[in-house]
Amino acid sequence: MAQDGSTTGYYFEDLNDGMSAEFTKTVTEADIIKYAEISGDTNPVHLDADYAATTMFKERIAHGMLTAGFISAVFGTKLPGPGSIYVNQSLKFKAPVKIGDEVTATIEVTGKVPEKKFVTFSTVCTVGGKPVLVGEATLMVPTKG
């Protein structure tokens, strides 16, 4: 269900270039531990402070795909919302996300492919206004018909 309680989001016909939405979440230690358990990614840079101190980051960092998941949250709950299906996502990781960072995932409609009912989006996650992840996504969006 969408955050407003509806079970449908925007229809393909309702989307226009420039429409945008965002989701903000502060990354916690519990988030990182849960993500490691769910994904199986137990890289010590995420879980072991002593190990992480020996890396270029000097402290534990969140999984990049945890951060990317915030983009999925926008798509699934806000724009286009329930009923939309991921087709493609490119990601470029620009900076680490650390425990306590407030991440804002923002998506914006950049185009439509009417014959396939695909909508393209720019995607970005920021911390303190600085991009930590950028990319592009394509989603299949339900039509009114």
Write the CATH number for 123.
3.10.129.10
47 located within any domain? yes
64 located within any domain? yes
Note whether 127 and 67 are within 8 A (CB).
no
6 located within any domain? no
Structure tokens at 131: 């991009």
Structure confidence at residue 145 (pLDDT): 75
> How many Å apart are CA 66 and CA 36, to the nearest integer?
9
Q: Please state the φ and ψ torsions of residue 87, each to the nearest 5 degrees.
A: -115, -40
Question: What total of structural domains would you count in the chain?
Answer: 1
> How many Å apart are CA 107 and CA 121, to the nearest integer?
6
> How many Å apart are CA 25 and CA 116, to the nearest integer?
33
Q: Which residues are bridge partners to 24 per DSSP?
A: 104
Reported confidence tier of residue 1, pLDDT bands at 50, 70, 90: very low
1 located within any domain? no
More reliable by pLDDT, 8 or 145: 145
Reply yes or no on whether the pLDDT at 3 is more than 80.
no
User: Structural domain of residue 78, as residue ranges?
Assistant: 12-140
More reliable by pLDDT, 92 or 144: 92
84 located within any domain? yes
Reported confidence tier of residue 110, pLDDT bands at 50, 70, 90: very high
Note whether 28 and 108 are within 8 A (CB).
no
16 located within any domain? yes
Reply yes or no on whether the pLDDT at 2 is more than 80.
no
Q: Is the peptide bond before 80 cis (omega within 30 degrees of 0)?
A: yes
Question: For 39-84, how does the pLDDT look when each residue is reduced to its tens digit (9 = 90+)?
Answer: 999 999 999 999 999 999 999 999 999 999 999 999 999 999 999 9
pTM for this structure? 0.92
Q: Please state the φ and ψ torsions of residue 16, each to the nearest 5 degrees.
A: -135, 150
Burial class (CB in 10 A: 0-12, 13-18, 19+), 62: buried
Reply yes or no on whether the pLDDT at 141 is more than 60.
yes
> How many Å apart are CA 112 and CA 99, to the nearest integer?
37
